[in-house]
Each structure stands twice: as C-alpha cells, then as structure tokens.
Amino acid sequence: MAEQLGVYGLTVEAKTFYVKELLARAVPTFCFLGYGIKKNIPARGGLNLEWRQLQRPAVATTALSQGTPPSAQAITWTNVTATILQYGAFARLSDLAYSQSFDEQVSELVGMWGEHMGETLDIIARNELIAGTNVQYAGSGGSRGNVSGPLIEAEVRKALATMKRNNVRKVASVGRYVLIAHPNTENDFLGSPTGNMSYILTQAGARGGDNPIFTGDSYDYLGVRIMYTANAKVYGSAGLSYIGVFTALLIGEGFYGESRLSESTGEIITHPIGSAGAQDPLNQYGTVGWKAALAVRRLQEANGLRIEHTSSIDVQGGN
C-alpha cells in the first residue's frame, strides 16, 4: 500500500504508541487474617487440627463446712476442629507470548497472582468470620430485614460494652480490639451526631500532620483499632428501601484460629517453556500460578461481634 506523507497522509506510519509502564491494579486492603490464634501444621502432620479449651465452672460462693470437703467439680473440655484446604489458580503462556509480547509477561503475572492469592485468602477468612452467631443490628432493628441505622460512634460503644460483658480480651498482637468495616462506613462514623469522631480525633489525638484525620490511616478509639476494606461483606437489601446491608466485624482475642502448612503463607509457581515434557511435546507453553493452604475457624462465638448496619453511601447488590 502506498503511503502519502504530509497533511493528508500518515495512516500506515501512525502506529499506536504502547506505554511500557502498565497501569496499577485496584487492590483492596486485606484485613481478615492475622488476628486469630495461629497454629500451623508441620510436615507429615496431616491436614486436620483441633483447638481445645478447658471450661471454667461457676464461681464457688458457698462457704466450706469445717472438716468437710465440698463435692468435686465436673471438668468439661470443648474442642473445635478444622481441615486445611488448598486453593490456587494459574495461567498458560504460549512460547510466542514469552518471546514477542510488548510487556514482560512473567513478572506482571507474578505480581497479579500474588494479589489474587491475597484477596482469595482474605475473602475465605471473611466468609468464615462473619457467619458468627453474635450479632448487633444498628438502630432499632432486630434482624437484617429491619436494620435501621448506620455505624455511628454509639453503635461502636454498644458493641464494645457487649465484648466487655463477655470478658473478651483485646487481640494480643495489637493490644486493641479490631473493628473491620466497609469504606462507606467511614462517612457516617466520622460524622456521627452522637459523638463526632472527627472532633474526637483532632482534640484527643496528637496534633499535626500525622493525625489520622490528615493521613487517612487506621486509628484507635476506646481501645479499638478501626480499619476499612472494600472486602467487608455487603448483603443485598433484604427487601429494605435502601440497597445494601453492611457488616462491621469486631474481633477480640481468641475469636478464631487460623492455620497453614509448615509456616508457608503460599507460593508463586512458575514453569518455563519446555518443562512439561510429553504434555507439551513442541515446547509451546509455560505456566505461572499460585497455591496456598489455609484453614480458618471461629473458636469462641462471644469473642467476636458482627454489626449489621446501613450507610449513607449506598452500594448496588452485595459482595
């Protein structure tokens, strides 16, 4: 094809310019792992594990009779079991993709699969934790179908009182209770009419540029570390006038256990072209993927609390 250069030409020569720096992927904050009782299974230790607890009997308020021993107390043990399961995903890359692509295929896939693994494990943990039986419905509601209020500061104080009544200790690794909520929650919480958190953070916190009001980082309130992630569960409307029912999860020490195999948090696995043997007789593809093993199980229902609430910033459907 002849090409005319000048004002009316330059079609074949006007090629698309490819930016070599690829766009960053939108990745949610991973929050649901790391606050449980950790116990990994060593090599040759099987796939099943068990957490046990010796139950404390009622307090002994009856005075002893002189010279007469009391009745022996029955001792009760409880246990919770879990099975570690494997998860993973991979992609094939052709020999031509390896050699002729504009972009570095393997390094980008390694980064993408690492994020994919992290979010997968985070969602697996979330789904187990929010299924707990200890729940608080915001506002005057008594069920998911009639939740009537957002997550304001008063709801957090109410949830905290429940935890303290249950003698739940703070998560040892952070020295705080941990509250994981959806980003849409922050709009209501910081502007809470019953206790404006913006005012509290500026007046009670350290002044200056490191204050969470300026940095947007996680912050503490009444011994609670408050964190936000788009992975927080959002249920459908349940027939309500608004679209989503949001969940916030308050975690105390011993609420759940998490276990992996031999201290491994997961691995990225690459197989270059030519490594598949007879399965790839013409050396036409390689693979990049990830694999991880995980078990997450709620251990003590009273040590965690799910707060179901509305949001002034609504969302479509659930996640």
Q: Percent of the chain scored above 70 by pLDDT?
A: 79
Q: Give the model's pLDDT for residue 213.
A: 63
For the chain, what is the domain count?
Answer: 1
Instruction: Check whether 7 has a pLDDT greater than 70.
Output: no
Measured CA to CA, the distance from residue 82 to residue 20 in angstroms comes to 46
Residue 108, in any domain of the structure: yes
Instruction: Check whether 185 has a pLDDT greater than 90.
Output: no
CB-CB contact of 171 with 178 (8 Å)? yes
Q: Give the model's pLDDT for residue 5.
A: 44
Residue 126, in any domain of the structure: yes
- Tell me which of 257 and 17 has the higher pLDDT: 257
Which residues make Cβ contacts (< 8 Å) with residue 88, sequence separation at least 6? 117, 289, 290, 291, 292
Q: Provide the H-helix boundaries in the chain.
A: 95-100, 105-129, 153-165, 183-190, 197-204, 212-215
Least confident of 184-188, 241-245, 294-298: 241-245
Range of the domain at 258: 29-52+77-319
Residue 23, in any domain of the structure: no
Q: What is the dihedral of CA 147, 152, 158, 160, to 10 degrees?
A: 120
The Cα angle at residue 133 between residues 131 and 134, in degrees rounded to 5: 115
CB-CB contact of 171 with 133 (8 Å)? no
Residue 183, in any domain of the structure: yes
Q: Give the model's pLDDT for residue 6.
A: 45
Distances (CA, A) of 107 to 6, 28, 254: 41, 21, 39
- Tell me which of 316 and 307 has the higher pLDDT: 307
Residue 111, in any domain of the structure: yes
Average pLDDT over every residue of 130-151: 90
pLDDT tens per residue across span 207-243: 666 766 666 667 788 899 999 999 999 987 665 656 6
Q: Give the model's pLDDT for residue 172.
A: 95
Q: Percent of the chain scored above 90 by pLDDT?
A: 39
Which residues make Cβ contacts (< 8 Å) with residue 158, sequence separation at least 6? 136
Instruction: Check whether 13 has a pLDDT greater than 60.
Output: no
CB-CB contact of 234 with 283 (8 Å)? no
Residue 24, in any domain of the structure: no
Task: Give me the CATH number covering residue 230.
Answer: 3.90.1690
Cβ neighbours of 83 (radius 10 Å)? 11
Q: How many residues are recorded in the chain?
A: 319
- Pairing of β 48-54 and β 77-83: antiparallel
Residue 59, in any domain of the structure: no
Is the CA virtual torsion 252, 257, 260, 263 positive or negative?
Answer: positive
- Pairing of β 48-54 and β 135-137: unpaired
Average pLDDT over every residue of 247-270: 91
Q: Is the pTM of this model over 0.85?
A: no
Residue 3, in any domain of the structure: no
pLDDT band at 88 (very low <50, low <70, confident <90, very high): very high
Q: Where are the beta strands (DSSP E) in 187-284?
A: 219-221, 224-228, 234-235, 245-251, 256-259, 267-271
Least confident of 14-18, 130-134, 180-184: 14-18
